[in-house]
Homo-oligomer: A and B are copies of this chain.
Amino acid sequence: MKQLTEKQQEILDFLIECIREERYTPTVREIAERFGIKSTNAVRDHLAALERKGCLTRRANTSRGIELAEEYLEKPEGIPIVGRVAAGLPVTAVENLDGYLAFETLFGGNDKLYALRVEGDSMIDDGIWDGDYVIVHEQPSLDNGEIGVAIIDEEATVKRIHRRGKIIELIPANELYQPMEIDPEETPFRIGGKVIGVHRRLR
């Protein structure tokens, strides 16, 4: 991407604001009015420059036919992640900013994910509490000892899952609970996926 002039950047910012925030592509004349430009051709020059520099494309002879390049269409979503707290600044100052916390960025657009609300405290020693959401990657099998979702008789439960020969062992993380053994030939059993995240809402 080539360097933009100040004016070009201003106009690009305006376009981004319009299209991203207002879902509304301005006309050449609207852009001219916004910047106090009296000739549509001046705007045209800027748009041509922006197009040449790869910031946008235009549909010819079409009203409001500006299409922004991909990188300008997404707005940062989620919760700002604060790194070090710089002296004297508010916590969320840009200087402290480390990124954005969002499921999108954390789990990267994976469409085999689902969330499950945990009931009971059988996994409390693994840091999974009653009422937590676990984020699950749907997959048919697990490595031995991984935390996953076991579906027994269509009832979902979160446990550490071991396979010992033909027997499936579900191991809680709470000394008050006993491990459970399942013979898949006797009991309808399947694996719902692997737990890859935990989310808790405090009050």
Contact = CB atoms under 8 A, between A and B. Distances in A.
Interface of A: 19, 23-25, 27, 63-64, 67, 73, 77-88, 90-92, 98, 101-104, 106-107, 113-117, 127, 129, 133, 135-136, 138, 147, 149, 151, 154-156, 192-193, 195-203
Contacts of A102: 102-103
A29 to B, nearest CB: 11
* Copies of chain A in the complex: 2
Nearest to A98: B117
Contacts of A116: 81-82
Contacts of A138: 90-92
Contacts of A117: 81, 83, 98
Nearest to A68: B23
A83 B118 CA distance: 10
B79 A114 contact: yes
Given A81-B117, A115-B80, A151-B85, A195 B202 contact: yes
With most chain B CB atoms within 10 A of its CB, the pick from A114, A127, A197 is A114
27 contacts: A19-B23, A63-B64, A64-B64, A79-B113, A79-B135, A81-B114, A81-B116, A81-B117, A82-B115, A82-B116, A85-B155, A86-B154, A87-B154, A88-B154, A91-B114, A92-B138, A101-B103, A101-B115, A102-B103, A127-B129, A127-B200, A196-B202, A196-B203, A197-B200, A197-B201, A198-B202, A199-B200
